[in-house]
A and B are shown apart, each in its own frame.
Chain A
């Protein structure tokens, strides 16, 4: 929560934040990153500010709103995406750190040509492994990272891989079933 402080120091910080943005834009520093097999060039100071998180850039700048932000502090897993194949919390990574990285979001899981769902997505549908669905994209991305590494995970492996994901509707039991079912059904 924003405290009301009226303190001079913080007021200056507020203003200086904007100054940084303008200053950096003059340097024409670019970030290039791949999202779901598509290359993006982002100009720092214009498209991306130094304090923008990857989650923010994906959602607000590039329009990949399938990635959800819930706590924005790295404590709930909702914003999980794959970075070079590893599950990461996109709310805890600055976009300016992502130069040259390849990102996969939930939108990148379907077969781009046929529209066929990834086996994980299909297993989530078959098991009704969601209720409100807000945590689902993050959970599926973590599960994808797990299955890419571990062809046939045990139930405990699945639990461990998903331990950082907050699901308040309690779909955990059907999620575990869905991930276990999807294991071994291709990547």
Chain B
């Protein structure tokens, strides 16, 4: 148990709860601006083609159409590193790539106008396999990316951005090993995180120099942070509405944002672009493809002596920041394995399909899902229990790692072995684990198997955050922080921190809208950084505001500021609650007291998540069913138990655990089309298919900030896919090395088809 606090650790209704249950919460498509037009996108039917001719004259002449754009007349904004993704281009690189944009008075008119655009394409050969794409004779996607392999590095995360793991001497490491394992594993089902709300943006130009963006975003600030360099440093104000799910995908929204902004500029009116679900499937963020060929050396006691290999990362037709995902993945691999000798070489490759992008798990999920199954080959050779292996190998205080900035950081956090052990006890691992390739139980054609996976991330302290806390004489506080709400309850959790520091009731603390214009700098709600990084800035601002309040109160009470306390808007000398003055007597009624806080990057702490999974495989039908999940973490201190539990359960969604069982985007490699791009054919878990789900949450104080807490939301799904794959492999006694483990693959592994 954590400490006893007034608010922290207690379940309290979210600030936006009433708005959500009454339908008043405003999402992007609930919003209209006066004179607003509707933007629609003409999309490519081909995976790779040159636009030989494009005639928009009929569309332009269509009544109600206000602007039509093609590559010939869009602003020259380009995204990605290197710059390779323009707003529109004369080449299309995936089925669903944007060809032309239309703004019109109604959605119907815009859709009809799209049909009036005549395009003559010259089809080009396409490539879909990550290794095929790197061959010398492969079709080339971008002039800026020779050989389809992205140049390494990403300036925004530092000059030395981590793009490989090279330490020690792997040959020496292999000589020291008792066993050598080798193999290939692929996590290439490119699942779609698929938030229920499609992506949407409204762009409006206040004047030619000032752009305002309204969008449903996980991180309003990130739209500006990444949007400004993309749009030639235009002055951009971003305001986030309530966001109907993101799971990482709605952080920067660069492409829809650029399309709406370009149309709004051309039409001279605000423009809304709101994707259909079909566009959401075909032209918005998938997970990265991940394929690893690796060789590992291991000792009998579970020490990993060396790991070398190649990590092929398939980002599809373009990348916003996949180099950062590769960097973070490389960091996370080191958190999981205390191995002295590494040579893991990533290759970030483009192929002709809908681009991958930022998704919850951010490179780490994709890396772990391929790497852990390979490690299990080594564990099996050494006859090691995976739980014991993970306990031994997960980062401990004093261990170091290269993080995404290429800098060697030394870990100063807690030992998560205790949480791993507690999880094992709750799950009943000792009884269920029968050894590698051995089922826990066999009932006729049905076999039960168990598996375990883990993940952790030092991004909980990534990047910078700033906050102001403004106290008013009526004993209220307003938190100025550019924090959006896409489901994590973070806006409410931060208000709880402020209320705790100021000893106010929760209804007296509010937070400003996520608006980059009125709030100080914020990086965004990514990498589980809300609790530690954003929280640290917020706590500091609240403490600073309280100090300023006490400076004003001290002369009134005839005491030293450091001897003062406050509770429910009253100030008193510690130990004497009889004699109090209200805030307004200290402040006067024509004053506010504003405190400031700032957090700076710290990669010396990480979070932790482990998933234990139990599956039942029907060896006749090949169907694997998830029976039970135990999700384990140690978060230092719970901020809100219901919110945290929601985050852990979210491991089943957002293209997480279920990507091991049935979730995939089925890409037809003849036409480049995704075949299951609707919500009937794309499989998702329903209320009738719920496994038993238990959360095990420890609260070992972590040296982060005042409340000794770290966030874990982002990483919740990351250990899931490999845990389930392990469970299936153990159930059937055959290894499966790609995802998802659909009945055809299971029956094939069993030699039945």
A contact residues vs B (CB 8 Å cutoff): 1-6, 10-11, 14-15, 17-18, 49, 59, 64-73, 75-76, 78, 105-107, 109-110, 117, 121-122, 124-128, 130-137, 140, 158-160, 162-176
Residue B593 at the chain A interface, CB threshold 8 Å: no
What is the bound-complex CA distance between A73 and B276, given in angstroms?
10
Does the CB pair A66–B23 fall under 8 Å? Answer: yes
What is the bound-complex CA distance between A3 and B246, given in angstroms?
27
- The one of B118, B196, B680 that contacts A134, using a Cβ cutoff of 8 Å: B196
In the complex formed, the residue of A with least CB distance to B716 is A170
Residue B5 at the chain A interface, CB threshold 8 Å: no
Closest beta carbon of chain B to A183's beta carbon, Å? 16
- The one of A4, A75, A109, A126 that contacts B45, using a Cβ cutoff of 8 Å: A4
Does the CB pair A133–B489 fall under 8 Å? Answer: no
Q: 5 closest Cβ contacts across the A-B interface?
A: A66-B23, A134-B244, A132-B487, A106-B23, A131-B487
Does the CB pair A71–B195 fall under 8 Å? Answer: no
Question: What are 27 A-B contacts defined by CB distance under 8 Å?
Answer: A1-B43, A2-B43, A4-B42, A4-B45, A5-B115, A14-B116, A65-B23, A65-B30, A70-B198, A71-B678, A72-B276, A125-B14, A128-B11, A128-B17, A130-B487, A131-B646, A132-B244, A132-B487, A133-B16, A133-B244, A136-B21, A159-B690, A168-B193, A168-B195, A168-B247, A169-B646, A170-B685
Residue B670 at the chain A interface, CB threshold 8 Å: no
In the complex formed, the residue of A with least CB distance to B92 is A4
Does the CB pair A18–B112 fall under 8 Å? Answer: yes
In the complex, which residues of chain A have a beta carbon less than 8 angstroms from the beta carbon of B246? 132
In the complex, which residues of chain B have a beta carbon less than 8 angstroms from the beta carbon of A2? 40, 42-43, 111, 114-115
Does the CB pair B245–A169 fall under 8 Å? Answer: yes
Closest beta carbon of chain B to A115's beta carbon, Å? 9
Interface membership of chain B positions 687-722, coded 1 if the CB is closer than 8 angstroms to chain A and 0 otherwise:
110100100000000000000000000000000000
Residue B506 at the chain A interface, CB threshold 8 Å: no
What is the bound-complex CA distance between A176 and B649, given in angstroms?
14
Interface membership of chain B positions 20-60, coded 1 if the CB is closer than 8 angstroms to chain A and 0 otherwise:
11111111011000000000101111000000000000000
In the complex, which residues of chain A have a beta carbon less than 8 angstroms from the beta carbon of B247? 168
What is the bound-complex CA distance between A140 and B18, given in angstroms?
13
Asked whether A1 and B486 contact (CB < 8 A) given A110-B22, A134-B196, the answer is: no
What is the bound-complex CA distance between A159 and B685, given in angstroms?
12
Interface membership of chain B positions 651-666, coded 1 if the CB is closer than 8 angstroms to chain A and 0 otherwise:
1111000000000000
Does the CB pair A162–B687 fall under 8 Å? Answer: yes
Does the CB pair A167–B112 fall under 8 Å? Answer: no
Residue B637 at the chain A interface, CB threshold 8 Å: no
Residue B445 at the chain A interface, CB threshold 8 Å: no
Interface residues of B in 249-267 (CB under 8 A from A): none
- The one of B115, B282, B651, B687 that contacts A1, using a Cβ cutoff of 8 Å: B282
Closest beta carbon of chain B to A156's beta carbon, Å? 9
Does the CB pair A107–B23 fall under 8 Å? Answer: yes
In the complex, which residues of chain A have a beta carbon less than 8 angstroms from the beta carbon of B488? 131
Does the CB pair A117–B245 fall under 8 Å? Answer: no
What is the bound-complex CA distance between A121 and B654, given in angstroms?
25
Does the CB pair A4–B99 fall under 8 Å? Answer: yes
Does the CB pair A172–B690 fall under 8 Å? Answer: yes
In the complex, which residues of chain B have a beta carbon less than 8 angstroms from the beta carbon of A170? 646, 649-653, 685
Does the CB pair A67–B23 fall under 8 Å? Answer: yes
What is the bound-complex CA distance between A132 and B250, given in angstroms?
13
Residue B288 at the chain A interface, CB threshold 8 Å: no
**Max chain A Cβ within 10 angstroms of own Cβ: one of B20, B116, B653:** B20
In the complex, which residues of chain A have a beta carbon less than 8 angstroms from the beta carbon of B283? 1
What is the bound-complex CA distance between A158 and B27, given in angstroms?
27
Closest beta carbon of chain B to A180's beta carbon, Å? 13
Known: A1-B276, A173-B649, A176-B687. 10 other contacts (CB 8 A): A4-B43, A76-B679, A105-B23, A128-B642, A130-B20, A165-B686, A167-B196, A168-B684, A169-B653, A172-B690
In the complex, which residues of chain B have a beta carbon less than 8 angstroms from the beta carbon of A166? 196, 679, 684
Does the CB pair A68–B679 fall under 8 Å? Answer: no
In the complex formed, the residue of A with least CB distance to B682 is A75
Closest beta carbon of chain B to A59's beta carbon, Å? 8
Interface membership of chain B positions 276-312, coded 1 if the CB is closer than 8 angstroms to chain A and 0 otherwise:
1111001100000000000000000000000000000
Residue B229 at the chain A interface, CB threshold 8 Å: no
User: What is the total number of residues of chain B having a CB less than 8 Å from a CB of chain A?
Assistant: 77
What is the bound-complex CA distance between A5 and B111, given in angstroms?
13
Looking at chain B's contact residues, is the secondary structure mostly helix, strand, loop, or mixed? loop
Does the CB pair A133–B20 fall under 8 Å? Answer: yes
In the complex, which residues of chain B have a beta carbon less than 8 angstroms from the beta carbon of A117? 18, 21-22
Does the CB pair A6–B679 fall under 8 Å? Answer: no
Does the CB pair B197–A107 fall under 8 Å? Answer: no
Residue B451 at the chain A interface, CB threshold 8 Å: no
Does the CB pair A75–B680 fall under 8 Å? Answer: yes
Asked whether A6 and B118 contact (CB < 8 A) given A128-B13, A166-B679, A174-B646, the answer is: yes
In the complex, which residues of chain B have a beta carbon less than 8 angstroms from the beta carbon of A49? 108
In the complex formed, the residue of B with least CB distance to A109 is B22
In the complex formed, the residue of A with least CB distance to B40 is A2
Interface membership of chain B positions 235-252, coded 1 if the CB is closer than 8 angstroms to chain A and 0 otherwise:
000000011111100000
Closest beta carbon of chain B to A14's beta carbon, Å? 4
What is the bound-complex CA distance between A6 and B114, given in angstroms?
9
Does the CB pair B693–A173 fall under 8 Å? Answer: yes
- The one of B42, B277, B688 that contacts A71, using a Cβ cutoff of 8 Å: B277
In the complex, which residues of chain A have a beta carbon less than 8 angstroms from the beta carbon of B690? 159, 172-173
Residue B749 at the chain A interface, CB threshold 8 Å: no
Residue B424 at the chain A interface, CB threshold 8 Å: no
In the complex formed, the residue of A with least CB distance to B112 is A14
Residue B194 at the chain A interface, CB threshold 8 Å: yes
In the complex formed, the residue of B with least CB distance to A160 is B688
In the complex formed, the residue of B with least CB distance to A128 is B642
Residue B156 at the chain A interface, CB threshold 8 Å: no
- The one of A75, A122, A133, A175 that contacts B679, using a Cβ cutoff of 8 Å: A75
In the complex, which residues of chain B have a beta carbon less than 8 angstroms from the beta carbon of A14? 111-112, 115-116
In the complex, which residues of chain A have a beta carbon less than 8 angstroms from the beta carbon of B108? 17, 49
Asked whether A126 and B278 contact (CB < 8 A) given A2-B42, A69-B29, A159-B688, the answer is: no
What is the bound-complex CA distance between A10 and B115, given in angstroms?
7
In the complex, which residues of chain A have a beta carbon less than 8 angstroms from the beta carbon of B645? 174
Asked whether A121 and B21 contact (CB < 8 A) given A4-B42, A159-B688, A170-B653, the answer is: yes
Residue B117 at the chain A interface, CB threshold 8 Å: yes
Residue B119 at the chain A interface, CB threshold 8 Å: yes
What is the bound-complex CA distance between A52 and B33, given in angstroms?
22
Does the CB pair B646–A171 fall under 8 Å? Answer: yes
In the complex, which residues of chain A have a beta carbon less than 8 angstroms from the beta carbon of B79? none
Asked whether A168 and B654 contact (CB < 8 A) given A131-B646, A132-B486, the answer is: yes
What is the bound-complex CA distance between A170 and B243, given in angstroms?
16
What is the bound-complex CA distance between A172 and B679, given in angstroms?
18
- The one of A6, A140, A169 that contacts B119, using a Cβ cutoff of 8 Å: A6
What is the bound-complex CA distance between A78 and B679, given in angstroms?
12
In the complex, which residues of chain B have a beta carbon less than 8 angstroms from the beta carbon of A126? 13
Closest beta carbon of chain A to B668's beta carbon, Å? 14
Closest beta carbon of chain B to A127's beta carbon, Å? 7
Closest beta carbon of chain B to A9's beta carbon, Å? 10
